[in-house]
């Protein structure tokens, strides 16, 4: 799919470059839409003939006409102050939707609260009841996600999993980070920072920890590194199902009173800013802090040197690629790779200005 899409885009880019116009202008000419002068249209048409460019638009239109509206169901967490992370994949999904809606694709959004499994279950049932030609889900709650995956399998509905995977389940593909390796990489980074006689505090902050596939998988990778390279005796666990700052700070105070050797703190998700706020309040500049995601609150602490490292996994691109994968598969019958793994990027105060989600 990626190669076919890239070839199509590169052809349009080359035509636009030679004609000295925008790609949008070339697209209008290819699809015979108004808004282009005859002189410009003739110039673009001549270049198309010169390059022997064949977008096969007629075949595409015939396929779409026979299919009618293509309905995509998207299930992901709603965006809030507490869940700012999901703004990025939603932007990617919206960008893809804007590009493909002209082909008769309709995207239906189903949002849920990451802290409420019952809402997730209801949205899964709504997708099943309403029907869809393709499904994109973030499988935050595994049993309910498996129910939807089983429905998709039984009705031959392609399903893309984004951001975290569900082991042993049939799906069209997974698009996101390799979470085990993300945790493993984080542990390797901690190893570089850890001084003699210091310990590492591994922090999980989420209403649902035991059922959170992303946290569990990252933690497994992190523990695997220490088991192989160092020792699990160097690790101290911290779990909080309370996600408000006051509760987290109170519990962290207790841990630091009893664990004097903490030199590095690793937070398994984007709530690293809660720990950063606490570290700043107690003036613990000697502790190295790392966590996840390119969020405004995290970047502010990164700039001030409270957070030392952020692990980022291009969530906007995850959303965009997930929708485009379903579109290409359903409309053009494009062959899809089983997995498309995102790069795992390390962001610091020195390079955050140049990063793009």
What pLDDT, on a 0 to 100 scale, did the predictor assign at position 249? 97
pLDDT score recorded for residue 262:
97
The answer to whether the beta carbons of residues 248 and 220 sit under 8 Å apart is: no
- Residue 290's DSSP bridge partners are 266, 309
Give me the count of residues in the chain: 357
Task: Give residue-wise pLDDT tens across range 95-143.
Answer: 999 998 888 899 999 999 887 889 999 999 999 999 999 999 999 888 9
Domain boundaries, the chain: 2-55, 65-176+315-342, 179-312
In whole angstroms, give the CA distance from residue 194 to residue 318: 32
Across the chain, mean pLDDT equals: 89
Q: How far apart are CA 97 and CA 104, in angstroms?
A: 10
Q: How far apart are CA 122 and CA 13, in angstroms?
A: 44
- C-alpha 210/C-alpha 141 separation (Å) is 10
| Distance in angstroms (rounded) separating the CA atoms of residues 167 and 286 | 39
179-312 is classed in which CATH architecture? 3-Layer(aba) Sandwich (3.40)
Query: What's the whole-number mean pLDDT along residues 175-181?
Result: 95
As given in the structure block, the two tokens for residue 46 are 């001549």
Contacts by 14-19, CB closer than 8 A, 24 or more apart = 14/51, 15/44, 15/47, 15/48, 15/51, 15/53, 18/47, 19/43, 19/44, 19/47
Q: What is the mean pLDDT of residues 154-160?
A: 95
Q: Considering only 5-14, 47-56, 252-261, 297-306, which range has the smallest mean pLDDT?
A: 5-14
pLDDT tops 50 at residue 354: yes
- The class of domain 65-176+315-342 in CATH terms is alpha beta
| CA atoms of 165 and 255, how far apart (whole Å) | 32
Distance separating the N- and C-terminal Cα atoms of the chain: 22
Give the per-residue pLDDT at 57: 44
Model confidence at 184: pLDDT above 70: yes
Q: Which pLDDT tens digit goes with each residue over 38-88? A: 899 889 888 887 766 655 543 444 444 455 688 999 999 998 766 788 999
Whole-number pLDDT of residue 335: 84
What pLDDT score does 2 carry? 47
* CA distance linking residue 113 with residue 192, whole number of Å: 37
Identical fold at 65-176+315-342 and 179-312?
Answer: yes
Contact 32, 64 (CB under 8 A): no
Specify the pTM.
0.77
Percent of the chain with pLDDT over 70: 91
Q: What phi, psi does 264 have (nearest 5°)?
A: -140, 140
Q: Does 321 score more than 70 pLDDT?
A: yes
Superfamily of domain 2-55: lambda repressor-like DNA-binding domains (1.10.260.40)
**CA–CA dist 113, 77 (Å, integer):** 6
Q: If we measure between CA atoms, which residue out of 113, 294, 277, 268 comes closest to residue 201?
A: 268
Helix or strand run (H / E) with residue 327 = helix 315-332
- Between these two residues, 220 and 332, which has the higher pLDDT value? 220
Burial class (CB in 10 A: 0-12, 13-18, 19+), 295: buried
% of the chain exceeding 90 in pLDDT: 66
d(CA 353, CA 348): 9
For the ranges 18-22, 152-156, 184-188, which has the lowest average pLDDT?
A: 18-22
- Average pLDDT on 176-180 reads 95
* Tokens 């502790």 -> residue: 287
Confidence of residue 224 (pLDDT cuts 50, 70, 90): very high
In the predicted model, is pLDDT for residue 1 greater than 70? no
Look at residue 13 in the predicted model and tell me its pLDDT.
Answer: 77
pLDDT digits (tens, 9 = 90+) for 272-316: 999 999 999 999 999 999 999 999 999 999 999 999 999 999 999
Q: Are 205 and 273 in contact (CB under 8 A)?
A: no
């Amino acid at each position: 799919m990626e190669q076919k899409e890239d070839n199509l885009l590169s052809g349009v880019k080359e035509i636009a470059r030679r004609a000295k116009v925008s790609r949008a202008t070339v697209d209008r000419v290819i699809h015979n839409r108004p808004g282009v002068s005859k002189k410009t249209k003739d110039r673009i048409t001549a270049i198309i003939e010169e390059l022997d460019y064949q977008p096969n638009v007629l075949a595409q239109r015939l396929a779409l006409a026979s299919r009618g509206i293509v309905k995509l169901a998207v299930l992901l967490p709603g965006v809030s102050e507490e869940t700012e992370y999901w703004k990025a994949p939603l932007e990617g999904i919206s960008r893809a939707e804007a590009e493909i809606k002209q082909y008769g694709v309709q995207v239906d959004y189903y949002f849920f609260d990451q802290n409420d499994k019952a809402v997730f279950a209801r949205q899964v049932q709504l997708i099943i009841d309403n029907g869809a030609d393709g499904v994109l889900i973030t499988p935050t709650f595994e049993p309910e996600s498996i129910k939807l995956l089983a429905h998709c399998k039984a009705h031959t509905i392609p399903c893309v999993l984004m951001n975290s995977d569900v082991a042993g389940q049939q799906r069209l593909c997974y698009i996101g980070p390799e979470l085990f390796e993300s945790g493993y990489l984080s542990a390797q980074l901690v190893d570089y920072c850890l001084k003699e006689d210091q310990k590492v505090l591994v922090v999980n902050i989420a209403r649902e920890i035991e059922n959170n596939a992303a946290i569990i998988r990252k933690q497994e990778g992190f523990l695997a590194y220490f088991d192989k390279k160092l020792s699990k005796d160097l690790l101290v666990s911290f779990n909080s199902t309370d996600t408000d700052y006051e509760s987290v700070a109170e519990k962290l105070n207790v841990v630091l009173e009893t664990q004097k050797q903490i030199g590095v703190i690793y937070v398994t998700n984007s709530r690293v800013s809660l720990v950063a706020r606490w570290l700043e309040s107690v003036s613990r500049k000697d502790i190295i802090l790392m966590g996840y995601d390119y969020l405004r609150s995290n970047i502010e602490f990164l700039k001030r040197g409270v957070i030392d490292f952020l692990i980022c996994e291009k969530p906007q691109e995850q959303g965009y690629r997930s929708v485009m994968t379903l579109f290409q598969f359903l409309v053009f019958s494009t062959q899809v790779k089983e997995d498309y793994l995102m790069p795992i990027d390390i962001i610091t105060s020195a390079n955050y200005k140049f990063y793009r989600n």
